[in-house]
Chain A
């Protein structure tokens, strides 16, 4: 029997949100049976943090959560030193969450891949604040199987980030016909025009792989805040920036002319069904 790959979960400056999100995976036990878990901040593991920081151990897969601050210490040892050691021995490094991928809420010096040329080729960025447990499960299973993932320009697996958060949103028809939401707290209308939703501008699978298996931000009336992108957290998260009542940013890869032409045509029609409450007769 082959020995199991060794996985090590290390944290920089973080809220632990990704660790907790991962605990929400419904098949956590089965998933983790394929690994020897050297360290995780919550799950039973073979090493103590004090043993981890001696750098006397080696891992095959490094899972890094949080913003990388070189001088920050874990159990008295600088992160820089820990990354140097475990980053070198790991066959793959996963930047778990947006802080690790891009700096996110807490980082001041970009993502993990900006820190060293030596490991940048080994890094997979799993951006999101936090990650969905299923996204990480995909990468873990892939690693255990020895399969490679096609990555986008920001080193995110295309299997997850080729899609936009818009894909699978239950408000899509309102977007098509340019029917905006009349405020918060309603299931009718699109949140792109006034409420700041960045679903058409953000890569992610939030509306394909539902949270808790049941919902998402947009399904529960929250705008997408674009937490999978490198510019998260942007400012004015609950409003849409507009010029002359036209959204400042149009959907990703769509020219302003194309968008305005189509929007102009859609707006000349009033679709009665879409202007009513869903529950009305």
Chain B
């Protein structure tokens, strides 16, 4: 018998299909029904139109799409013999707003998804103000993005050659003040301790039993035994190059080289019905991506400690996201402090009409590596391909080689499996785009 479960509140919806054996998941598949065909919409348009359209793939990580897109266009420039140089200011602003989007994503995921689901799974009603707390934290961060990039969601302030904005002392201060306010929220309400103390913790013991939203979630996770559940392959991939991540393939904590050209996709398969999704693979093998992958690549001591004890369990996965949220708050503040306002925002590139070449743009998005591949012919988009992080984590593959989320759900009761599925930070709109 196949049991189905609709998963909502995940940026769209998905359907899980379970084959059970004695009340436990033997094999699960993941089905995404909706697709918009973004890549097709881009064909025949001037290259820079993609800077406006591709953020519209996703309401929560559109800024990551913008950055992958601009890097793909700049790579095409380079491949056409016109390598572009960006000012340090433009680079810092791009990295800062990308990081800010990631922070607001993690805050929303924590409060509007994981915390709500966790209370429900324990049979409690979540505190009424809990979701609003998450919206508040995210809203403050989005004000910081707006101060630099004009608005969030759906700005297009990164363009080949730099950024469109020329922030003065006032705009920079607005962003910094918002970041400061959000940091205070994260410290006082979410973590219950200073960022520095949380980030320098070496063991779980140092952060356990704290009176805070994180402390309450941690207690519930332990009660549910989530430190033993939701393990996938303990195999990870990071592809983006940033201050907070470097490309690597990992088996446990052991790192290996990775070549982005070896990333490919295949059609997703499901038990019943048709999925519009595709699976992302590296040389035929699936890898988990996202905050846990990045934490292990960076070697964050606290997450390494959790990983040593609980491997790639749901507990570790959830705390890797929280850790990254704190880490990026600290690093983004440092990035903004380092911005030299007098530098150029934009260095004019040759007209895009002169560019006939392929380009690849890779960034780390909230859920992992996001790849945009473009082919320009005299500046016009002749081909466009987007490979999203959720295509790795939520791959729906045959039972001999299930994808990371499929693997993590095996052996669990259905309701727990659905929770473990959500621990991957599901995004339906990106998966199919």
Contact = CB atoms under 8 A, between A and B. Distances in A.
Interface in A107-125: none
A217 B155 contact: yes
A129 interface: yes
Interface string B146-169: 111111111111010111111010
A19 B168 CA distance: 31
Contacts of A215: 146-151, 171
Interface in B15-53: 33-34, 36, 41, 45-46, 48-49, 51-53
B12 A44 contact: no
A16 B34 CA distance: 13
Contacts, number: 191
B132 A211 contact: no
A147 to B, nearest CB: 26
Contacts of B48: 237-238
B50 to A, nearest CB: 10
B36 A185 contact: no
Given A212-B142, A238-B48, A238-B159, A220 B62 contact: no
B205 interface: no
A23 B111 CA distance: 13
Interface in A1-33: 11, 13-21, 23-26, 28-29
Taking each of A49, A222, A235, which has the highest tally of chain B beta carbons within 10 Å of its own beta carbon? A222
A184 B151 contact: no
A17 B62 contact: yes
A28 B164 CA distance: 31
Contact of A16 (B12, B51, B150): B12
A47 to B, nearest CB: 11
Interface in B98-150: 108, 112, 116, 126, 128-129, 131-132, 135-136, 138-139, 142-150
B60 interface: yes
A73 B13 CA distance: 10
A233 B144 CA distance: 27
Contacts of A48: 8
Contacts of B56: 15, 17, 105-106, 129
A130 B59 contact: yes
Interface in A40-74: 41-44, 48-50, 72-74
B412 interface: no
A149 to B, nearest CB: 24
Nearest to B159: A184
B8 A220 contact: no
Contacts of A216: 150-151
A222 B6 contact: no
Contacts of A214: 143, 146-147, 171, 174
B397 interface: no
Given A105-B53, A237-B52, A28 B132 contact: yes
A30 B345 CA distance: 39
A212 B146 contact: yes
Contacts of B132: 28-29
B108 A213 contact: no
Contacts of B166: 185-187, 221
Contacts of B149: 215, 220
Contacts of A29: 129, 132
A158 B52 CA distance: 27
A222 B150 contact: yes
B348 interface: yes
Contacts of B144: 212
A236 interface: yes
Contacts of A212: 142-147, 151-152, 178
Contacts of A235: 45-46, 49
Interface string A222-264: 1001010000010111110000000000000000000000000
B315 interface: no
Interface in A52-110: 72-76, 105-106
A34 interface: no
Contacts of A142: none
A239 B351 CA distance: 11
Nearest to B164: A221
A257 to B, nearest CB: 31
B68 interface: no
A208 interface: no
B323 interface: no
A219 B12 CA distance: 32
B178 to A, nearest CB: 8
A77 to B, nearest CB: 11
Given A105-B41, A220-B157, A220-B164, A211 B135 contact: no
Contact of B146 (A129, A186, A211, A279): A211
Given A23-B108, A26-B139, A185-B166, A16 B348 contact: no
A238 B152 contact: no
A185 B429 contact: no
Contacts of B151: 206, 211-212, 215-217, 220
Contacts of B36: 13, 15, 106
A75 B429 contact: no
A42 B171 CA distance: 30
A15 B143 contact: no
B264 interface: no
Nearest to A235: B45
B11 interface: yes
A220 B126 contact: no
Nearest to A53: B6
B58 interface: yes
B414 interface: no
B346 interface: yes
B89 to A, nearest CB: 10
A15 B45 contact: no
Contact of B346 (A42, A183, A236): A183
A15 B156 contact: no
Contacts of A239: 46
A100 B46 CA distance: 26
Interface string A120-160: 00000000011000000000000000000000000000000
A106 B53 CA distance: 10
A232 B104 CA distance: 28
6 contacts: A28-B132, A49-B13, A184-B346, A212-B145, A214-B171, A220-B157
The 3 lowest CB-CB distance pairs between A and B, nearest first, are: A212-B146, A185-B346, A185-B345
Given A23-B138, A24-B143, A215-B148, 6 more contacts: A105-B56, A187-B166, A211-B150, A212-B178, A235-B45, A279-B168
